[in-house]
Amino acid sequence: MAVLLFPQFSNHCLANTIEPFRAANTIAGKSLYRWSFLTLTGGPVASSSGLTVETESWAKARPSGDFLFVMPSYGHRVWVTPALGQTLRAARRRFATLVGLDTGAWLLAAAGLLDRRRATIHWHELDAFAEAFPDVTVTDDRFVLEPDIATCGGAATAFDLTLELIRRHHSPIFALEVAALFMHGDAPGLRDPLRGKSPGAMVRRATALMRRRLEEPLPIAEIAAQMRISQRLMEQVFRRETGLTPNGVYRALRLREARRLVELSDLGIAEIAGRCGYQDAGAMTRAYRMEFGVAPSAHRQA
């Protein structure tokens, strides 16, 4: 992946894009994702808050790959030039997917890359964007993700987009594991858990409850009751969003916490089993081996 930055970029948006990929590498214990930071001229580039990032020159790097993230953020209109348009159109041939982050959709549209496509942008720019580019189907969705073009509306939506990419590349459970590192969706917010919320948001709220009760797992019926939805609906949404039952997701969360403790703590296997809701070490070891292909003691030695 390559990230094309411009002066006054949002470092919040940059962090929300890259940190989930970094977390995915950490969880997997290998390099699932690699990235580089670029500008048109190279050298240090300052964000809107003064944080600087060292970058390579676009011309010297001649990047290519799976994804190009275009991130201008503030002052984006000054970068609408014939030269940049040519650069982005050339990048279209060298990257499988172009992604407009924050106000990056404006630059992609100015280069003619969003004609007759759905796209979104930071919500402050939606009306102006629609007026400036009538051939673009402008939507107020948090992000639009297609195989070759993606756009999103800002820092928080960049995090959502990145998690969705991780979910598609790997699995819903892996994406939930990444999200948990950032406490994303971790507040249950049970006053009205479904009003205006997507099925994905409901799953995040339910898994937040599960993570709070790993040592003493809650019955699924009780989680559904706390969410004020039927257990049947909860089962349907979980199967559609994750491919697993709520019990299957709960089990996966408990085992991933066990793996984290195996790797990062000195706790005994029996103690880890108890902390992850297993009555004895043997039961956890059998489940652990089925999930990860290795017993926890062998995993720790490795």
Q: What is the pLDDT of residue 194?
A: 45
pLDDT given for residue 184 in this prediction: 78
Question: pLDDT for 186-216, tens place per residue?
Answer: 554 444 444 446 788 889 889 989 988 999 9
| pTM of the predicted model as reported, rounded to 2 decimal places | 0.82
pLDDT at residue 197, rounded to an integer: 60
Mean pLDDT across 214-229: 94
Question: Could you tell me what percent of the chain has a pLDDT over 90?
Answer: 81
Average pLDDT score over residue span 62-68: 96
Q: Which domains does the chain have, with CATH numbers?
A: 2-167 (3.40.50.880), 182-246 (no CATH), 249-301 (1.10.10.60)
Q: Which is it for the CA torsion 151, 156, 158, 163, positive or negative? A: negative
Mean pLDDT (the chain) is 92
Task: Give pLDDT, residue 183.
Answer: 80
Per-residue pLDDT tens for 85-141? 999 999 999 999 999 999 999 999 999 999 999 999 998 899 899 999 999 999 989
Give me the percent of the chain exceeding a pLDDT of 70: 96
